[in-house]
Structure 1
Amino acid sequence: MPAACLAAESGALVRLNKRMAELGLASRREADEWIAKGWVLVNGQPAPMGAKVAAGDRITVSRAAGQQQASRVTILLHKPVGYVSGQAEDGHPPAASLIAARSRWAGDAVRLRFAPAQLRGLAPAGRLDIDSTGLLVLTQDGRVARRIIGEDSPVDKEYLVRVAFGPVTQNVQAAFPPQRLALLRHGLSLDGQPLKPAQVHWQNPEQLRFVLTEGKKRQIRRMCELVGLRVVGLKRIRIGQVRLGALPAGQWRYLAADERF
């Protein structure tokens, strides 16, 4: 019996890997891998590479594909300052270098044994600046990455941001004009494009809480610069429904089966 069987939605011909990604069956890369292995059928026939599907075409994915997907892990890391999210650059180590048995959080409740094979294809789903700390997701599962950083992703991210206003480093809230706080919420542009509305509130007199639904490079730091604020510290504490919680800096845990972004 097939592991998944879904009818393609109506519309013009589209590439099979794109349709599979839209249906949440796999990432495009995974889909291509499965097609090459003969694990994807269209209307009961093995699909060739580059195949396109039309309205009413029936996409069937083999159980072997489902088993492979189930073995892929997603890891939640509390990235410290000084590590880059992706590949090593300018002498700074990648966050993935922290993933080892010795740095697994003792409080991880997932009953899964760490194995070096889990590092294969493990990639960050989004970025966190070298000067920032907090929750970073690394995954082998293309569906998870698409959910977090896909163009149509509904997942928001929450940050705590310590700021200074000119020479003011204490009780910044009292010195910062309310109209500039309103601009942080809506009205700024970066790279020639207006930013989506954001939730921005004072967490305490020196710290702002940001909730964003987009993730341009160094977005919060650049937003703050535009209104005269200087970021002193930035920590991501939530991605979607998954929180950093008590995970210590430099340690990691697995995404639990009942957790969803």
Structure 2
Amino acid sequence: MTEPGERLAKRVAALVPCSRREAEQYIAGGWVRVDGRVVEEPQHRVQQQVITLDREASLLGATSATLLLHKPAGHDDGRLAPDGQRPRPGDPPPARQLLTQARQMVGDEASQRLLKRHLVGLDTLVPLEPGASGLLVFSQDWRVARKLLEDAALIEHEVMVEVAGDISPEALQRLNRAPDGAAPARASVKISLNSNSEGSSRLRCAIKGGQPGLLARLCEDAGLQITGMRRMRIGRIMLGSLPVGQWRFLLPQERF
């Protein structure tokens, strides 16, 4: 039985006027409202509702999106449950479930709404272990993916590591010294003391390659107990003031 009304794409094509294909592009681009609500499905059925087209509506090619998330500690970075897969029982909650309109950073300079098409084919490009918080990248853009994957050994990550107790000069030397036979990745880390407070210390770690678990192994080898870890920067992109559990769009002029 045919549903009442007509396809939204047909109504928009008559309203503009434009071709049916162009109407579908307007709708998928988030430019069409039905009774004031954005509808992104061209096949959506309408009857007497008020259909409006945004004044700034454009048919220019939609650009691929890159989303920057401040991942909370305890969330999977997306490797355990890739796009479209449900996490297994006992797995940490997937960070991609935080990519919702409600969690877009207030004041995001992109001034862009999150659309359903932005969440299709998002790849997690730079691993971050569940116990760590901080900057996480999801992208549809092949140029961003190529940069982060092909230049992974060259892009510097800045990570703040909280450890229990004070850091002795000897422990700091051990953290920065690559023993004989160490993998090249270990020599790509530079660690300095950022601050001391009662009962804890903060280390600033500059690491190239972003190997998951490397900093934890180095601290364990030095006899240090990690109490917190946060990635602050990937290349030239800073975490900045992005709140925990929220995300923003990568701006067109920003480069890793």
TM range (shorter): 0.5 to 0.7
- Corresponding residue for 1:147? 147
- Asked if residue 221 in structure 1 is aligned to residue 211 in structure 2, the reply is no
d(CA) in 1 for partners of 2:216, 2:152: 24
- Corresponding residue for 1:113? 113
d(CA) in 2 for partners of 1:100, 1:152: 28
d(CA) in 2 for partners of 1:120, 1:132: 25
- Corresponding residue for 2:101? 101
- Corresponding residue for 1:200? 191
- Corresponding residue for 1:238? 233
1:185-217 residue CA offsets vs partner (Å, 9 max, x unmatched):
230589x62423322111102100000002222
With over 3 angstroms needed to count, the CA separation of the structure-2 counterparts of 1:203 and 1:228, relative to structure 1, is same
Q: Give the letter for the 1:217 counterpart.
A: P
* Distance apart, 1:100 and its partner CA: 0.7
- Asked if residue 260 in structure 1 is aligned to residue 251 in structure 2, the reply is no
With over 3 angstroms needed to count, the CA separation of the structure-2 counterparts of 1:188 and 1:149, relative to structure 1, is farther
Structure with higher Rg: it is: 2
With over 3 angstroms needed to count, the CA separation of the structure-2 counterparts of 1:252 and 1:183, relative to structure 1, is same
Question: Which of 70, 77, 89 lines up with 1:85 in the alignment?
Answer: 77
Question: Which of 65, 84, 94 lines up with 1:73 in the alignment?
Answer: 65
Q: Give the letter for the 1:182 counterpart.
A: Q
**How many positions carry a matched residue from both structures?**
184
- Corresponding residue for 1:8? none
Contact preservation (8 Å) 1:163, 1:230: yes
TM-score normalised by L of structure 2: 0.67
d(CA) in 2 for partners of 1:113, 1:76: 14
- Corresponding residue for 1:181? 172
- Corresponding residue for 1:128? 128
d(CA) in 1 for partners of 2:189, 2:229: 16
- Corresponding residue for 1:58? none
Contact preservation (8 Å) 1:75, 1:139: yes
Q: Give the letter for the 1:229 counterpart.
A: L
Q: Secondary structure at the match of 2:68?
A: strand
d(CA) in 2 for partners of 1:223, 1:153: 18
* Distance apart, 1:238 and its partner CA: 0.5
With over 3 angstroms needed to count, the CA separation of the structure-2 counterparts of 1:193 and 1:114, relative to structure 1, is same
Q: Secondary structure at the match of 1:210?
A: strand
Contact preservation (8 Å) 1:76, 1:136: yes
With over 3 angstroms needed to count, the CA separation of the structure-2 counterparts of 1:111 and 1:202, relative to structure 1, is same
Q: Secondary structure at the match of 1:229?
A: coil
* Structure 1: runs of 5+ lacking an equivalent: 1-66
* Structure 2: runs of 5+ lacking an equivalent: 1-59, 82-86
d(CA) in 2 for partners of 1:258, 1:189: 43
With over 3 angstroms needed to count, the CA separation of the structure-2 counterparts of 1:97 and 1:231, relative to structure 1, is same
Q: Give the letter for the 1:95 counterpart.
A: A
Q: Secondary structure at the match of 2:187?
A: coil
- Corresponding residue for 2:54? none
d(CA) in 2 for partners of 1:199, 1:127: 19
Q: Give the letter for the 1:107 counterpart.
A: G
Q: Give the letter for the 2:193 counterpart.
A: W
* Distance apart, 1:150 and its partner CA: 2.4
Contact preservation (8 Å) 1:147, 1:155: no
